Amino acid sequence: MMDTILHIEGLSKQYGKITALNKLSIEIPRKSVFGLLGPNGSGKTTTLGMILDVIEKSEGSFAWNIGDKGNERKKIGAILESPNFYPYLSAVNNLELVCKIKDVNSDVIEPILKQVGLIDRKDDAFKTYSLGMKQRLAIASALLADPEVLILDEPTNGLDPMGIVEIRQIIRDIANEGRTIILASHLLDEVQKVCTHFCVLDHGNLIYTGNVEELSKEKNQYSIQANDEVRLREFLDGSDQIKSWKKEEEGFTFVLAESISIEQFVEALSNAQVYIKHLSQITFNLEKKFIEILDQKS
């Protein structure tokens, strides 16, 4: 049974006649990296705002399974907006102020700055930081109170490629500490590379939820073409070495049974006198899955 850290049931938000979120129901597993995926205006930030109690819900409910009842917010670190610190203060000085607000011992500052890769710039003014460094300082600020859950809204938005790589690695490192991370993103690549679970929102509606690893498990999927297409079709149709197959515009795709190696399959083809013209493994791509999801919806 899944250990759920957040249960959302029928959560909705109306702004007059506009439905920003429509009866969202999802469960977020503990210690997962859960991605809210969707274009701008899909309801991602609205969802994060409601589960943080900074946006009032119109209907529905959500329940955190952390800390003491009524004190859950203390166990959550969040970044919903652009990093906002005093420009002329250093990273250390800015975080010292946050520690006072959160009633946290300032001894945690340097280890956290080291964790986010800012220890060498700890005494430099915030205004001298790049956008990526500012984002890393915001993550450091969110980690000061040792939260069980970290919530990030578009954590790599506007960053250059190196900045994106750095933030992704920090997210992975934080997840490896056993924390739950909930992040909103419109970037398919980001969700595929850092998330364990995700859902897809579109115009406030949930259209898909799933496990990234389960989607990528079809590593036994292949594309094949042969000189004699009729004979190949007959082989695929009668073979117990494959789980499924499909005719494509050119050739076929098939999913190999887990107990069968591709070498065994090729040997069986040869024994059946089916001669291969093309054979390649199909790698998992969330973009393809996303297009499939949207096609099924329409």
Q: Which residues contact 12 (CB under 8 A, 6 or more apart)?
A: 19, 21, 22, 23, 24, 57, 58, 59, 60
pLDDT of residue 298: 55
For the ranges 20-29, 48-57, 70-79, 141-150, the lowest mean pLDDT is seen at: 70-79
pLDDT tens digits, 212-236: 877 665 567 889 999 999 999 999 9
The pLDDT assigned to 204 comes to 94
**Can you name the CATH fold of 4-83+146-215?**
Rossmann fold (3.40.50)
| Rounded Cα distance, 71 and 62, in Å | 15
What CATH number does the domain located at 217-287 have?
3.30.70.100
**Do residues 260 and 241 lie in contact, with contact meaning Cβ atoms separated by under 8 Å?**
yes
* Residue-wise DSSP of the chain: ---EEEEEEEEEEEETTEEEEEEEEEEEETT-EEEEE--TTSSHHHHHHHHTTSS--SEEEEEE-SSSTT-GGGGEEEE-SS----TTSBHHHHHHHHHHHHT--GGGHHHHHHHTT-GGGTTSBGGG--HHHHHHHHHHHHHTT--SEEEEESTTTT--HHHHHHHHHHHHHHHHTT-EEEEEES-HHHHHHH-SEEEEEETTEEEEEEEHHHHHTGGGEEEEEES-HHHHHHHHHH-SSEEEEEE-SSSEEEEE-TT--HHHHHHHHHHTT--EEEEEEPPP-HHHHHHHHHHHH-
Domain ranges within the chain, ordered by starting residue: 4-83+146-215, 217-287
Sort 29 into a burial class: Cβ within 10 Å, 0-12 / 13-18 / 19+.
middle
What's the half-sphere exposure (Cβ side, CA atoms, 13 Å) at 104? 21
Bridge partners (DSSP) of residue 221 are 255
Distance separating alpha carbons of residues 100 and 107, to the nearest angstrom: 12
For residues 28 and 6, give the distance between their C-alpha atoms in angstroms, rounded to a whole number: 5
**Start-to-end Cα distance in the chain:** 33
pLDDT attached to residue 152: 96
Residues present in the chain in total: 298
Two structure tokens written together for 178:
């056993």
- Between 71 and 50, the more confident residue is 50
Question: pTM value?
Answer: 0.79
Distance CA 142, CA 120 (A): 20
pLDDT digits (tens, 9 = 90+) for 234-288: 999 999 998 888 888 889 988 888 888 889 999 999 999 999 999 988 776 676 6
The 10 Å Cβ neighbour count of residue 91 is 27
pLDDT digit string, tens, across residues 157-178: 889 989 999 999 999 999 999 9
